[in-house]
């Protein structure tokens, strides 16, 4: 199935210029209107500032799309009928002509179909705390699809050590940019050492090229710690996260509703501080992904 590309994304891909995929669940289910649409545009601008072309990915009227208009982003940001689609939800979204914000897994799948190899997001899903049975399809997709994903680590709404273990099992390289600790989204240090570290985008592009040459077929996870100026207090966030998890449990929130519920609660209880941190890290991830894509285009490693 071939995604519909915007003109600028199509032109960049056919000329071998750097392109960065961006997800849309963060717009539809991760941030409140109208901040979500403002951030989506700012993230696209951040990618352009670094010399790459942004390709925000979504499903609109059942069509897989890469490269959206202002009106598309506004629809994703406020239309109540927009669903959250992971990879396995894409077929039904196409058949039923749905609008869908795509999670990391679904965005990776569509990026791969479009020939886009680099992708920026805020945080990926992972192994949830508890019995270890709620595992995001983001991890499964990273195991199956050769797309590089830049994130700010994973939130401690998840079990971070178990998430790193699963990534190891699935043969997904994990590289942290400029730090020895794997980051925890709102904070720069999860307490877990990073499996690999790289200090510049060219080093990440080189690791990626070597990884691809091995033919494993898996993606790669790049963790970019939140800028220190925007990092939140770990003790404070741990307490808020514990309260949000207890509330989700008490209200019987299950399945794909869990992550959006927790994000919404954290944004509400921190009086916007969590949202501001989220915005800062997404912008920073978009810049880093663009710099990696530029480095890769220069070496022709994603040809
Ligand atoms: N984590 C965040 N912000 C997000 C998400 C996760 O800090 O917006 C979104 C992403 O789209 C991610 C999805 O791919 O949630 C994971 O959902 P689940 O846990 O249901 O797999
Ligand atoms: Mn889940």
Q: State the pLDDT at residue 303.
A: 42
What CA–CA distance (Å, rounded) separates 124 from 233?
A: 21
Q: What is the pTM of this model?
A: 0.97
- Residue 138 Cβ < 6 Å to ligand 1: yes
pLDDT at 65 over 90: yes
Catalytic residue among 50, 84, 155, 296: 155
Question: How many Cβ atoms are within 10 Å of 63's Cβ, its own excluded?
Answer: 14
| Torsion sign (Cα): 186, 187, 188, 193 | negative
Centroid of ligand 2 to alpha carbon of 257 (angstroms): 8
Domains with residue ranges and CATH for the chain: 4-299 (3.40.1790.10)
CA-wise closest residue to 223 among 180, 253, 275: 180
Q: State the pLDDT at residue 298.
A: 85
Token pair, residue 191, equals 């307490």
Question: Can you tell me whether residue 25 is helix, strand or coil?
Answer: helix
Asked if residue 22 has a cis previous peptide bond (ω within 30° of 0), the answer is no
Question: Can you tell me whether residue 54 is helix, strand or coil?
Answer: strand
Rounded to an integer, the average pLDDT of 250-267 is 95
Centroid of ligand 1 to alpha carbon of 298 (angstroms): 31
The CA distances from residue 30 to 73, 84, 89, 204, 248, in Å, are: 14, 10, 18, 28, 16
Angle at 22 between CA 149 and CA 90, to 5 degrees: 90
Please give the mean pLDDT across all residues of the chain.
Answer: 96
What CA–CA distance (Å, rounded) separates 137 from 176?
A: 21
Token pair, residue 121, equals 């997001």
**Residue 151 · residue 221 · CB < 8 Å:** yes
pLDDT over 70 percentage in the chain: 98
Packed helices 70-78 and 35-49: angle between N→C axes, nearest 10 degrees: 140
**Residue 88 · residue 31 · CB < 8 Å:** no
* Closest atom, ligand 1, to C-alpha of 104: 14
pLDDT tens column, 74-86: 999 999 999 999 9
**Residue 54 · residue 295 · CB < 8 Å:** no
């Amino acid at each position: 199935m071939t995604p519909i590309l915007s003109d600028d994304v199509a032109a960049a891909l056919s000329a071998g210029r750097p392109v960065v995929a961006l997800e849309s669940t963060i717009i539809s289910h991760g941030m409140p209107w109208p901040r979500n649409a403002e951030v989506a545009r700012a993230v696209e601008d951040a990618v352009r500032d670094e010399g790459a072309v942004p390709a925000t990915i979504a499903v609109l009227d059942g069509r897989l799309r890469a490269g959206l208009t202002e009106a598309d982003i506004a629809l994703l940001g406020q239309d109540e009928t927009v669903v959250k689609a992971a990879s396995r939800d894409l077929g039904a979204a196409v058949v039923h002509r749905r609008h869908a914000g795509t999670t990391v897994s679904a965005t990776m799948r569509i990026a791969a179909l479009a020939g886009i190899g680099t992708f920026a997001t805020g945080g990926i899903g992972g192994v949830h705390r508890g019995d270890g049975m709620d595992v995001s399809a983001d991890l499964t997709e990273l195991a199956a699809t050769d797309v590089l994903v830049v994130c700010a680590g994973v939130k401690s709404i998840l079990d971070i050590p178990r998430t790193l273990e699963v990534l190891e099992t699935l043969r997904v390289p994990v590289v942290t940019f400029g730090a020895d600790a794997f980051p925890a989204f709102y904070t720069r240090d999860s307490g877990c050492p990073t499996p690999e570290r790289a200090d510049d985008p060219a080093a990440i592009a080189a690791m990626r090229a070597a990884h691809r040459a091995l033919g494993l077929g898996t993606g790669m996870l790049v963790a970019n710690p939140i800028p220190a100026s925007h990092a939140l207090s770990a003790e404070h966030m741990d307490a808020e996260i514990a309260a949000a998890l207890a509330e989700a449990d008490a209200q019987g929130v299950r399945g794909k509703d869990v992550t959006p519920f927790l994000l919404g609660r954290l944004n509400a209880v921190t009086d916007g501080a969590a949202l501001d941190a989220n915005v800062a890290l997404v912008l920073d991830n978009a810049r880093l992904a663009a710099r990696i894509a530029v480095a890769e285009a220069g070496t022709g490693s994603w040809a």
